[in-house]
Chains A and B, each alone.
Chain A
């Protein structure tokens, strides 16, 4: 099974500053169809997960452009620019290239 490893596990950020979360997979996430099915999810306190980014860098409907994804192969990054109070929560990377799909451990973003 593919293991997803996120760093850091905790990220204190000042309001208005940027946050960056890394995600590394134990094998390449490039599918035989040429796509890379790497997503990012946000889970605010007491809420279900919410899709932010799919296929490395495509923002889901309604997601602010402060959220951006990048990367390739086995290394991926979620950037949150101009962090707002509503961005507090846990962020998960998730791969859907290989079966079974798997999640990172989560990165907690909090305000300093």
Chain B
């Protein structure tokens, strides 16, 4: 069965960096685009970034462009989100989600919590 497991979250000071991972299993990872989405405490969902199935295209939300980098290792079935220059407003639970046919986001991970605080 399809599984997405995020890791790498934690508490970090403003201005520091963190790298999130999303380990995929149960499907052909290299055939699917992948998204990162975040949810600030008590708030709704915010799209963060997307990467094409082969890594050829990457796009970011305006709020993270220039600070976050999405990447993937198809040989290891892992999606990454490198987060630099973190701000308090980046505090959120970060989810990875699979991008499937008909543009549906059909499977989501359980999320990893990132807290940016001094």
Contact = CB atoms under 8 A, between A and B. Distances in A.
B45 A60 contact: no
Contact of B44 (A50, A58, A92, A101): A92
A61 to B, nearest CB: 8
Nearest to A104: B44
Contacts of B61: 100
Contact of B102 (A41, A55, A99, A106): A55
B103 A49 contact: no
Interface residues on A, range: 20 to 34
Interface residues of B, number: 19
A105 B42 CA distance: 11
A96 B50 CA distance: 12
Contact of A58 (B47, B102, B108): B102
A101 B104 CA distance: 11
B71 to A, nearest CB: 19
8 contacts: A37-B103, A48-B111, A54-B103, A55-B102, A92-B45, A94-B45, A101-B47, A106-B45
